[in-house]
Structure 1
Amino acid sequence: MKKRELGKSGLFVSELGLGCMSLPDDLNESKKVIDAALDAGINFLDTADLYDSGKNEQFVGHAIKGKREDIILATKVGNKMNENGTSWAWDPSKNHIESAIKKSLHRLGTDYIDLYQLHGGTMEDDVEETIDAFESLKKEGLIRQYGISSIRPNVIERFLEKGTPISIMMQYSMLDRRPEEWFPMIHHAAASVLTRGTLAKGLLTSEALARTKANNGFVEYATEELSQTVTALDRETEDLHAAAIAFVLREQTVASALVGARSVDQLLDSVIAYDKGCTEDVLDKLTTIVQTHTYKEHRV
């Protein structure tokens, strides 16, 4: 599997990454999925302290024992669990970040995190304080690099201007092209994009037509428009799953396309699709079928 550099960081991640949020709620089964990913050449694993109240990090930590040096490990911070354990509040403060990383390191069974990401962000945040927290963790050697997971252009732009993040995680797919407007800005800042929602909730897989019927629209596609678009995409390609992955990786600003998997079979479906790829001619044709929407909010 090919790798791409995250920004100018010296960290090289596999073009296909594993988004661990979808892992099965079983320690042994989740380990099987991660083992299959690593065996396929995937070296980039992404989790968050928020996922399943930290249990997801524990599962990942269990699965990577003895393999840590071969992995680019990413997790996220910023959502503080309330005392009831079932809800959370936004907290990007330095105190919380410095406290949360200790818990993440413990759950993950490691003494450093390759990529620590702010899990959201608002324009009301004290961004200088947040960035100072990340920079301090870098100096301590607890993290190698930091980034942000957000779909708010104004938050992303300010984060890039005030700090030195190497990655922006954004929902990006053939059916959600809103981030494309901001790729030049991200590239100019020497950062890379990590895509989540690469398969658009399964709308860009072999289950496309069935998933369309179960979805009441997607992003700015109304129900009927979504059905027509997905049908046209499916008609123009032999493997929509492969085309979906190739589409996001066509953008050089994208470093890794994240896919989720609840089973080994689901994971292998994406690996096979990645290996199969898609021709430029087909991608050009598919691009004429889908729309280029833009973010309506969080622009100023």
Structure 2
Amino acid sequence: MNKRRVGKSDLYVSEIGLGTMSLGTNEQQGKEIIDRALDSGINYLDTADLYDFGQNEEIVGKAIKGRREDVILGTKVGNHWEPGKEGWYWDPSKSYIKSQVKESLRRLQTDYIDLYQLHGGTIEDPIDETIEAFEELVQEGVIRYYGISSIRPNVIREFVEKSNIVSVMMQYSLFDRRPEEEVLDLLHDNHISVFARGPVAKGMLSNKGEQKVEEKAQNGYLTYSYEEMKEMVQNLQTFATDDRSLQAISLQYVLRHPALASAIFGASSVEQVDSNVAMLDALDLTDNLYTQLQQITRPIVYQKHR
């Protein structure tokens, strides 16, 4: 599997990565999914302390025991929760970040995190304090690099200007082309990589696209109406062939921009891992097809999330 460099770091990640949020709470099933991903050449695993309130990190930690050297491990922090209590609140403070990294390390059964990410954020946050926390963790050797998980252009610009982030994770797909308008070129110009989450748009950009539109988009999706979603999926399906599924096309599309390090998919079964890995055998995306895909969908801009 092709690997891409993350920013100016010495991290080289597989061009598709496994997001573990959908693993569920069955340890054996989670291990099987992670093993299949790693055996298929995927080396980037993305989790967060919030997923199943720490249980996801525990499952990931157990699954990679004995294989830690094969994994580029990313997790996230910033959603303040306490064991046994319902709910959480946003907390990007230095004290919280530095206390929670210890908990993530314990749950993951490792003494370092390759990529530690702020799990959200707004322009009102104490950004300088947040950056200071991450910089200290790098100096202490418990994290190798840090990034942010954000779709907010104003927040991204602040971190680009003030910090040493190597990556930004953001939602990006053929149906959510907002990053193309404001942030992809900015990040590429500053040698910061992008991890694309949701590249198959909740399954609506897969071979089950029409079924998923019925399930997920009855009230529309982003600024698209249900009718628009249905029409776009039908049009996109005409490009799918035995040699290149719509899922493969969708992953290839987001990976086209040079800012991209990896497209992150979720999986709740081994079969879903296999269907995403199948993109490796697909025909390459041509310039002509790339342009045609863009004509079927349309660019949209960030309005609420600034």
- Give your verdict on TM over 0.5: yes
2:175 matched residue in structure 1: 175
**What's 1:97 paired with?**
97
Q: Deviations over 1:79-111 (max 9, x none)?
A: 010465320011101100010000000000000
Q: What is the percentage of aligned positions where both structures have the same residue?
A: 51
Give the distance between the partners of 2:179 and 2:162, measured in 1 at CA. 20
The equivalent of 1:186 in structure 2 is 187
Under a length normalisation based on structure 2, what TM-score does the superposition of the two structures give? 0.95
Match of residue 116 from structure 1: 116
Select which of 249, 264, 267 maps to 1:258: 264
- Any stretches of 5+ residues in structure 2 without a counterpart? none
CA distance in 2, matches of 1:254, 1:105: 27
Residue 223 in structure 1 maps to residue 258 in structure 2: no
1:171, 1:100 → 2: CA distance?
A: 25
Which letter does structure 2 place at the counterpart of 1:297? Answer: K
Amino acid of the residue matched to residue 290 of structure 1? T
Aligned mate of 1:289, from 293, 296, 299? 296
In structure 1, the gaps of 5 or more residues are none
Number of the residue aligned with 2:13: 13
Q: Is 1:202 matched up with 2:208? A: no
Cα deviation, 1:30-75, whole Å, max 9, x if unaligned, reads 0000000000000000000000000000000000001111110000
Q: What pairs with 1:1-300 in structure 2 (closer than 5 Å)? A: 1-82=1-82, 84-181=84-181, 182-214=183-215, 215-216=217-218, 217-238=220-241, 239-280=245-286, 281-299=288-306
Once residues 201 and 55 of structure 2 are traced to their aligned partners in structure 1, the CA distance between those partners, rounded to angstroms, is 25
Distance 1:253 1:61 in 2: 29
* Contact 2:145–2:165, Cα closer than 8 Å, also in 1: yes
Q: Does the Cα contact within 8 Å between 2:53 and 2:83 map onto a contact in 1?
A: no
Q: Which amino acid aligns with 1:195?
A: A
Hey, which bits of structure 1, 4+ residues long, moved more than 3 A? none
Tell me if structure 2 keeps the 8 A contact 1:24–1:263.
no
Alpha-carbon separation, structure 1, partners of 2:283 and 2:103: 39
**Secondary structure of 2:202's aligned partner:** coil
Range moving further from structure 2, 208-217 or 34-43: 208-217
The alignment of Structure 1 onto Structure 2 pairs a total of residues equal to 299
- Contact in 1 for aligned 2:253/2:285 (Cα 8 Å): no
Equivalent residues of 1:245, 1:274 under 8 A apart:
no
- What secondary structure does 2:116 align onto? strand
Partner SS for 1:201:
helix
Q: Quick check: 1:16–1:274 contact (8 Å CA) kept in 2?
A: no
Letter in 2 for 1:71: V
Separation in 2, partners of 1:277, 1:231:
21
Tell me by how many angstroms 1:284 deviates.
2.5
The CA deviation string for residues 202-247 of structure 1, in whole angstroms up to 9 with x for no partner, is 0000100111122221111111011111110111222101100100
8 Å CA contact 1:243–1:283 kept in 2: the answer is no
8 Å Cα contact 1:237/1:282 also seen in 2: no
Q: Answer yes or no: is the 8 Å Cα contact 1:53–1:85 preserved in 2.
A: no
After superposition, give the CA deviation of every residue in 1:145-197 in whole Å (9 maximum; x if it has no partner): 00000111111111111101000000000110001121111112210000000
CA-based RMSD of the aligned residues comes to 1.1
